[in-house]
A and B are shown apart, each in its own frame.
Chain A
Amino acid sequence: MPKLIKHDRVIDDAWTLLGADAAAGDVPATGPVLVPLRLWQAERSALLARGEIGVWLAPDEEPAKLAADVAQLPVIAVDFPKFGDGRGFSTARLLRERYGFAGELRAVGDIFRDQLFYLRECGFDAFAVRSDLDPERELAGLTAFDRVYTASTHTPHPWFRERVTRVAEAAPRDVWFPCG
C-alpha cells in the first residue's frame, strides 16, 4: 500500500487520487477517493452521498471555491506539479486560516524532504512524498528547523511575540534589549 507522512510519521495511505480529467464514471464504488475540483463541482451531491470523498486543488484553483464545503470534506489535497511552484503554500494558509478547514490537508505532487518544514508551517499535516523516495528518510525534512521568525498557520505567533519569555527562560545573557 502507498505510504503517507501524516502528523509527522509514516502511515499507510488508503486514498486514491483521480486525475484532472476524471469523469463521474471513474469514481470507484467504494474506498476513499480524492477527486479534482471540477468533478466535485459537477457531482457534488452524488459524491457527498457516496461519502469518503476528498477534493484536490491545482495550483491555480481558488481555495474560496471550497469555502462552503470545508466542514464536509475529510481531506483536501493541494497539488505541487513542480518543486518550485509555491502557489500551494498560500492556498493552504487560506484554507486553514480564512476558510477554517480543520481536516487533513495533504500536499501531493513533486514533494520531498526539502519543502516539508515549509509546507507544515503553512498548514499541511499530510505529505504524499514522491513515490521514488523512502518516506521514512524524507521525514528528516520536518525537523530542519523548530520554527522561523514569521507567524504562519502551524506557528500562530511570530517569534517577536514569544521572544521575551522564551529567550529569558532559555538564556538570559542573550537578551539584548527585552521589549515590554
Chain B
Amino acid sequence: MYRYDAFDRSIVHRRVAEFRNQTRRFLAGELTEDEFRPLRLRNGLYIQKHAPMLRIAIPYGLLSTRQLRALATIARRYDRGYGHFTTRQNLQLNWPALVDVPEILNDLAEVEMHAIQTSGNCIRNTTSDHFAGVAADEIVDPRPYCELIRQWSTLNPEFSFLPRKFKIAVSGATTDRAATLVHDIGLHALRGEDGGVGFRVIVGGGLGRTPMVGHVIHDFVPEAELLNYLDAILRVYNRYGRRDNIYKARIKILVKERTPTRFAEEVEAEWAHLAGGPNTVPEGEIARLAAHFEAPAYESLPPVDSGYRAARADNRAFERWVERNVFAHKVPGYAAVTLSLKKTGVPPGDVTSEQMEAIADLADTLSFGELRVSHEQNLILSDVRQRDLFELWSSLRTLGLATPNIGLLTDIICCPGGDFCSLANAKSIPIAEAIQRQFDDLDYLHDIGELDLNISGCMNACGHHHVGNIGILGVDKNGAEWYQVSIGGAQGKHAALGKVIGPSFAAHQMPAVIARLINVYIARRSEEETFSDTVRRVGIEPFKEHVYAEAHQA
C-alpha cells in the first residue's frame, strides 16, 4: 500500500498543528461557532446528538494492520472502545471529546492517517473497489490513480470551498463494486487500443434528496490528463454550481440544469486551456505510485487446495460461509475473504477495539498484513491461501465475524441513524436489527439469495437506500418516526434508483413488510432469478398490492 515520504508526513503534521490552533482559538472564544464549523468539518469533526463525531479517512478503503491497531487504540483511549465503518470506506468515532481531537489527529498522523476532508464542502475521500488488485475481472488496478487523486485533492487550494461536498469513486474492473454511477464523479479505468490507461468519466450521479444516475461525459481521458480533466470539471462546478440553496448545490443539479451535453462542452472548453499544463502526470509518477501497490510475494499454489475442498464437502457451515464470504482471487490457490460486520444484534459496520486487534493479527498471519473496507461496511482480507481458509473461518466464528451473509438480505447497509446522527429523521439501527431477526433462518436466507437491503435514517442517504434492491428511508411525520419503502434499486454497472411502493410504515411493521415483499418474490420468481430480476420483470405492482392488502387485513 502507499507509504508516506517526508513530504506526505509534513502535510498531515502541519494539518494537525493548524487544527490544534483552530481548536484552541475556538475554545478561547476567538472563533465563533459559525467560523469554527467549516474548519472542524473539513477535519472530519461533526457535532452530533450526544458528542462530537470524528470521521477518519481510510483512503480508498485500504488499511495496514499497523493502522488498524492504531485505530483500536484510539477508539479505546479516546472513545468507547469501538468504531463504525461507513459506506464511504471511512471509520467514525461516535464519542470523542472536542479537546482530544487534535491529539487523535496526531496519533493518526503517526500511522500515516488523517481526517482531512472527510466532511465539509470539499473533495472527500476517494473510494474504490474493495477487491482492487485481486479481482479476476480487473482491467486496471485503480489504487495508484486513487492515490494520485488523493494527493491532488488534499488541501487543493482552488477547490477547498465548493458549493457542496464532492465525492469521487474509481473502478478498474468489469464489475463496478464502487458505486461509480452514483458519485459526483465516477471514473472507470480502461485500456485503450494501444494498451495505454485512460478513464471513462461519469458526472452528476448521487443519492441524497435528489437521487440521480450519472452521465458519461468523456469516453477516454488519457491517464496523463486525468488531473487536468478533473481540474476542468471542478472549476466549472466551483464557478457555476448553485450556492443559493444547499439542496440544489451538488454537481448533479448543475449537470441537469445545463444538460449533460452542455456541461460536457464547458468542461471540454476548460480542459482545452489546461491540457498539457503543469498537472499533466508524467509516466514516472504513475510508475512511482504503482510500485506502492505491487503484488505481495504470492506462493505458487495449485488452483484448488485439496484440504480446502475436503473441508467444504465435510462441513456444511463452512461451505455456506465459503459460498457467501469468499471471493475468487486472480492468483491460483488464493482467495479474498469478507469479514461480515452484519451479525444480528450488532449495529451494521461496528467493530470493537478487541475485534480490530484480533483482525489485525489474522491479517498479519494470513493475509500479508493488509485489509480493506468495503462500501457495504464490511472488512476484507484480500490475500488468503485456500488452505488457511478453514483456520480463518474458525477464528472469525469465535470473534463473531463469520456470519455467512455477504450479499444477502441481512448484509444490510445502514447509517448510524437517529441513535447518533443529528440530521436523522428516524432510527435505522433498530430497524436493521429487527429485520435481521426476522430472517434469522440461514436456510431461508440463502434460499432468498442475493439481495441488497439498504437503510438511511434521512434523505441524505448515507445508507444508500435508493440503490438498495429494497430501500428503507426514515421519514418524520408530525414528530413520529416512519419508514418509506422502495424496491427496484440496484448498484453496479446497471445502477437504478428504487421506486417507492406507497405510504410509509411504523417501525414495528417493518419486519412484516419486508417478509411480505420476500413472499411475493418467492411466489413469482423463476429459476435463478434474483429479487432484483423479479422486480425488473414483474414491476412493483404485485409487491405493492400484497404488502398493502395484507396490511389492511392485519
Query: What residues of chain A have their CB less than 8 Å away from a CB belonging to chain B?
Result: 83-87, 89-91, 93, 98, 112, 114-115, 117-119, 121-122, 140, 144-146, 148-152, 156-161, 163-164, 166-167, 170-171, 174-180
Contacts and interface: CB of A to CB of B under 8 A. Distances in A.
B397 interface: no
A98 B292 contact: no
B238 A179 contact: no
B209 interface: no
A115 to B, nearest CB: 8
Contacts of A159: 7, 151
Contacts of A86: 121, 158-162, 238
The interface centre, meaning the residue of B17, B278, B282 with most chain A CB atoms within 10 A of its CB, is: B278
B157 A121 contact: yes
A167 B6 contact: yes
Interface residues of B, number: 44
B10 interface: yes
B6 A174 contact: yes
A27 B125 CA distance: 49
Given A87-B238, A158-B278, A179-B282, A152 B6 contact: no
B235 interface: yes
Interface string B34-45: 010011000000
B317 interface: no
Contacts of A114: 22, 39
Given A179-B284, A180-B284, A89 B7 contact: no
A93 B238 CA distance: 12
Given A87-B238, A90-B239, A98-B273, A150 B38 contact: no
Contacts of B284: 164, 179-180
Contacts of A91: 239
B11 A156 contact: no
Given A84-B38, A146-B10, A148-B11, A118 B160 contact: yes
B236 to A, nearest CB: 9
A176 B3 contact: yes
B285 interface: yes
B239 A179 contact: no
Q: Most chain-A Cβ atoms within 10 A of its Cβ — which of B157, B277, B284?
A: B157
B151 A83 contact: no
Contact of B278 (A121, A145, A157, A164): A157
Given A151-B278, A159-B7, A176-B3, A117 B157 contact: yes
Contacts of A84: 38, 121, 161
Contact of A150 (B3, B6, B279, B285): B279
Given A89-B160, A161-B278, 20 more contacts: A83-B35, A86-B158, A86-B162, A87-B239, A146-B14, A148-B154, A148-B157, A149-B156, A150-B279, A156-B278, A163-B285, A167-B5, A170-B6, A175-B5, A176-B3, A177-B292, A178-B288, A179-B282, A179-B285, A179-B287
A72 to B, nearest CB: 23
Given A145-B14, A158-B279, A177-B292, A163 B7 contact: yes
B5 to A, nearest CB: 4
A146 B18 CA distance: 12
B291 interface: yes
A60 B157 CA distance: 19
B7 A90 contact: no
Name the residue in A90, A122, A145, A180 with the highest tally of chain B Cβ atoms < 10 Å from its Cβ: A90
A146 to B, nearest CB: 7
Given A148-B154, A149-B151, A152-B157, A177 B288 contact: yes
Contacts of B154: 148-149
A118 B157 contact: yes
Nearest to A137: B30
A106 to B, nearest CB: 17
Nearest to A115: B161
Contacts of B152: 149-150, 158
A172 to B, nearest CB: 10
Nearest to A112: B35
Contacts of B22: 114
A145 to B, nearest CB: 5
Contacts of B18: 144-145
A30 to B, nearest CB: 36
B80 interface: no
A144 B152 CA distance: 18
Given A84-B121, A148-B11, A122 B157 contact: yes
B235 A179 contact: no
A125 B242 CA distance: 28
Contacts of B494: none
Contacts of B281: 160
Interface in B1-30: 3, 5-7, 10-11, 14-15, 17-18, 21-22
A83 B41 CA distance: 14
Ranked 6 nearest A-B pairs via Cβ: A86-B161, A179-B284, A121-B157, A151-B278, A177-B291, A179-B288
B492 to A, nearest CB: 31
B537 interface: no
Contacts of A148: 11, 154-157
A167 B273 CA distance: 30
